[in-house]
Structure 1
Amino acid sequence: MNETKTQFEKIRFKDLVWTDIISPNREVLTSIQKKYKFHELDIEDCLTENQRSKIDEYDKYLFMVLHFPFFDSTKKLLVIQEIDIFIGQDFIITIHDGVLRPVMDVFGKCMLSIKQRKRFMSNGSGFLLYEIIDSMLDEGFRLVDYISNNTHVIEKSVFNVDATRKDMLKDILILKKDIITFRRVVSPQRTVIAQLEHKNKKFLPENLELYFDDLVDKVEKTWSNLESMKDLVMSIQETHESIISHTTNNVIKVLTIFSVIMLPLTVLTGFYGMNVSLPFEQHEAAYMIVIGGMIVIIGAMLGYFRWRKWL
């Protein structure tokens, strides 16, 4: 977790307590550990950044590490943000760095409105967990749409013959990086979300199975969309490289033809530049004869190149 100021807030509705902790330090987490008897390894996981999502089951609680993509407007890139969740029969604790807006929005609604607390918290900690994860997955869909729109914009630019290609490769590589980042988040999360259906029924009762099925469907849909966009971006990059290669070959072909045409002209002018007696040297039209010969050579070579369809 980031070294920023710790924020600690609680919401209580009936017997359920939701504690939201932003950028916790060890002292805060130790006090939470003592109160709820959490395993010390879970606390260590909260203090370090885990690269993979996971879910650990204990007798009195579940501990989850989840990751979600977040668009960094400064870097103009998708970055990975972690949220750690403890869930018991009458409590849920969320720990994050304060940039996962959907989680903060749900918490803010519950904080400000009894009606919203009843909506999100009246059905127990399992349903609240569903709502938190569902809000994050919905935000993921918006990011998928953002990447999809960027993909279509770049696709149109690649096939636009008048487009400037100077920064196009950079745009394609940024898009690929966003998709790779997103896939790295979703891939392990598919397994974790699927496992929720089969965990301790004290925390996730059977009447929530359909809700968690819905989460699984959303994760799989997100993964399917990312797979399609990955293939599309690969095709766009290959097409872009083919167009660049074709353009480069055309430029090289023109320069090669120009060099080949200049070669006999250079020989001819060098020949007549020698300090010896030469044909037509004394002829009054010698200059025009040489120029005419050069024009004939150029015309003959251009005609030959056109006949061979090199031009």
Structure 2
Amino acid sequence: MRTYLYDEREGLIQGLSIEELVERSASSNGAFWIDCLTPDPKEIHRLGDLFNLHPLAVEDLINPQHRPKIDIYENGLFVVVRDADVDRIEKGARALELDLFLGRNFIITVHTERMQSIEKALARIESAASRTLGRGPDYLMHWIIDMLVDDNLQLLNWLDEEISELEEDLFKAQTQDVLVQTVRLRKNIIYLQRILAPELELIKRLAWDDLPFIKKSLRVYFRDVYDNLARINDLVFAYREIVSSDMSTHQTIVSNKLNEVMKTLTIIATIMLPLTLVTGFFGMNVHFPYKPDDPSVFWALLASMSVLGVGMLYYFKRRGWFG
């Protein structure tokens, strides 16, 4: 648990206990931030008792895995946002949840994994506390959400790399490998859209609704965040269309390869049909008007069959039935 208190006279103070923060907040005009990484349920209950958090908010902080939402309570706002992250080892997208409780002069953040947006906010506070936490906990919440949305740009870079790799393999890789790669990428894109769509609705509320504990002057900043996320969502949708197009191209390539195989087999069968007819005709157990022991008959028959086969190949080539 990391604690930060910004006081106009003393500046940034770090490492205070929760009790010290509560005591100082009563006599200070400053703001403070409590960041909890994988907290124990006892710590959450302790925060709930000290800051008089609503029991439902405490329950949500203890049990994450919620959809993005905003709950309004008497003494604060409970906000759930999700950060779309990339697992490059598994080559897949995943969602990281961040829970925020915004009060009059404090903000509490709870998350189960390290998040870039939180780490950037911590670094920003330590270098420029007066321009972040000093502007109020609601501004800090905006800054964290803004960083979280900006981190989604990494998703676009990852998707661009994956699509480029897919299109390179489309014409040279094994059919099954490309199909698996295409389906996996499309599944990840759909999952990302499921993350971003409710996030858009949440930020839209922050940008246009009259919510308590958030200054009206911050709405324009949240609108900028909304525009950025909407643009990212549009690009993800465009990537989905590209992957769908690549899947159609893959099916066309497979169909063309199958047609080539069937064409080759058809040509072979067509050539073999008259040759089989000739050999079957002369293989009948009847007498023909030639000497059976004359070798010239065999060579004449073989030459005739060769000329017939070559002639049919030439005819097929003239008709453009094969290259």
TM-score computed with the length of structure 2 as normaliser: 0.84
Corresponding residue number in structure 1 for 2:310: 299
- 1:7-156 matches, within 5 Å, as 8-14=1-7, 15-50=30-65, 52-110=67-125, 113=126, 115-156=127-168
2:115 & 2:319 partners in 1: Cα distance?
64
Choose the corresponding residue for 2:274, options 264, 281, 298.
264
The alpha carbon displacement at 1:102 in A equals: 2.2
Would the alpha carbon gap of residues 267 and 92 (structure 1) be closer, same or farther in structure 2, given more than 3 Å must change?
same
The alpha carbon displacement at 1:307 in A equals: 4.6
Matched residue of 1:122: which SS? helix
Choose the corresponding residue for 2:187, options 177, 184, 191.
177
Segments of 5+ residues of structure 1 without an aligned counterpart are: 1-7
Choose the corresponding residue for 1:164, options 165, 173, 176.
173
Answer whether contact 1:80 1:181 (CA < 8 A) is retained: no
Corresponding residue number in structure 1 for 2:250: 240
The alpha carbon displacement at 1:256 in A equals: 2.1
1:202 & 1:271 partners in 2: Cα distance?
97
2:79 & 2:50 partners in 1: Cα distance?
18
Query: Mean alpha-carbon deviation: is it higher for 37-46 or for 249-258?
Result: 37-46
1:230 aligns with 2:240: yes
Instruction: Specify the structure having the higher radius of gyration (Cα).
Output: 2
The code of the aligned residue for 1:226 comes to: V
2:111 & 2:51 partners in 1: Cα distance?
19
Answer whether contact 1:179 1:226 (CA < 8 A) is retained: yes
Matched residue of 2:132: which SS? helix
Answer whether contact 2:70 2:80 (CA < 8 A) is retained: yes
1:290 aligns with 2:301: yes
Q: How many residues align?
A: 298
The alpha carbon displacement at 1:176 in A equals: 1.3
The code of the aligned residue for 2:156 comes to: V
Give a deviation string over 1:176-204, Cα, whole Å, max 9, x none.
12211211111011110010134555521
Corresponding residue number in structure 2 for 1:5: none
The alpha carbon displacement at 1:271 in A equals: 4.2
Query: Mean alpha-carbon deviation: is it higher for 126-135 or for 296-305?
Result: 296-305
Percent identical pairs in the alignment equals 29
Would the alpha carbon gap of residues 35 and 198 (structure 1) be closer, same or farther in structure 2, given more than 3 Å must change?
farther
Answer whether contact 2:33 2:106 (CA < 8 A) is retained: yes
The alpha carbon displacement at 1:96 in A equals: 1.0
Segments of 5+ residues of structure 2 without an aligned counterpart are: 8-29
The alpha carbon displacement at 1:287 in A equals: 1.8
2:62 & 2:156 partners in 1: Cα distance?
29
Answer whether contact 1:57 1:200 (CA < 8 A) is retained: no
Answer whether contact 2:32 2:106 (CA < 8 A) is retained: yes
Matched residue of 1:80: which SS? strand
The code of the aligned residue for 1:185 comes to: I
Give a deviation string over 1:28-58, Cα, whole Å, max 9, x none.
2222222222233333333334352111112
TM-score computed with the length of structure 1 as normaliser: 0.87
Matched residue of 2:70: which SS? strand
The alpha carbon displacement at 1:270 in A equals: 4.1
Give a deviation string over 1:198-247, Cα, whole Å, max 9, x none.
45555210121221111111111111111211111111111121112111
Answer whether contact 2:117 2:145 (CA < 8 A) is retained: no
Corresponding residue number in structure 2 for 1:4: none
